[in-house]
Amino acid sequence: MSDVGSDEFDDERSKHGEYEGDRNEAGERHGVGKAVLPNGDIYQGQYENGRRHGQGTYRFKNGARYVGDYYQNVKHGQGTFYYPDGSKYEGSWVEELRQGHGVYTYPNGDTYDGEWLHHTRHGQGVYHYKETGSEYKGSWVNGKMESAGEYIHSNHRYKGNFVNNNPYGQGKYVFDTGCEQHGEYHQAEQDRAEGKWGELASTTVLRWIPKCITGLTPWTPAKDTSGGEKETASAEEGAEN
């Protein structure tokens, strides 16, 4: 579903659509007004020299709605988009695209709170799974979990590197019982039955290879030689800084 507002007929040259509101000396829409477009969309808010500019609300005929900033007829700045499927994005927009920091609430209740680039999760962010209460916190590249990240569950967490949404390489499980299990994840493709068009479909299989188990080192204040106090941390906590 497109979340781009209609520009068609949204000018005086077309002589179509309805508009009520302020105008400038040139007769252009300027100030505060309401436009009803021929396709059924409705915009109510600020205009500048004939274009949507400033704060406004754009209601799509399919039930979607955008409330926020406009710049020269495009969503740009801070705004909230309500989608017909019940999902919602609240955050930064750059030329019609989700970009910068924003929070997306999905139809199933999951949420992503983090950075966006070109409408896609990209940068640092936290994805929370409503059904399980688990969450992933770490790096995203083009919508996928990549590089350093952490899966956090109710009684343990996994920290390591991720490739294409899956853990890969060295990492460790940290348990609430007070121990850490270090190891490596390996990925291997396994052939499955022939697909719809006769080709062999494959799936990625993850294999965890444990190396060793160690205890946790708690946060404790420690005296340094200068007489002041400093904090010491476990390797887990130090790696997070």
Q: Can you tell me the distance from the alpha carbon of 138 to that of 168, in angstroms, rounded to the nearest whole number?
A: 14
Contact 187, 166 (CB under 8 A): yes
CA distances (Å), origin 66, targets 36, 60, 84, 132: 15, 8, 11, 30
120-129 pLDDT, tens digit each:
999 999 999 9
User: Mapping DSSP to helix (H, G, I), strand (E, B) and coil, where does residue 240 land?
Assistant: helix
* Greatest mean pLDDT range, 1-5, 117-121, 190-194, 197-201: 117-121
pLDDT at 202: 52
pLDDT at 229: 41
Q: Could you tell me the sign of the dihedral formed by the alpha carbons of 2, 70, 123, 102, in that order?
A: negative
pLDDT at 178: 85
Query: What average pLDDT does the segment 54-59 reach?
Result: 98
172-195 pLDDT, tens digit each:
999 988 899 999 999 876 555 555
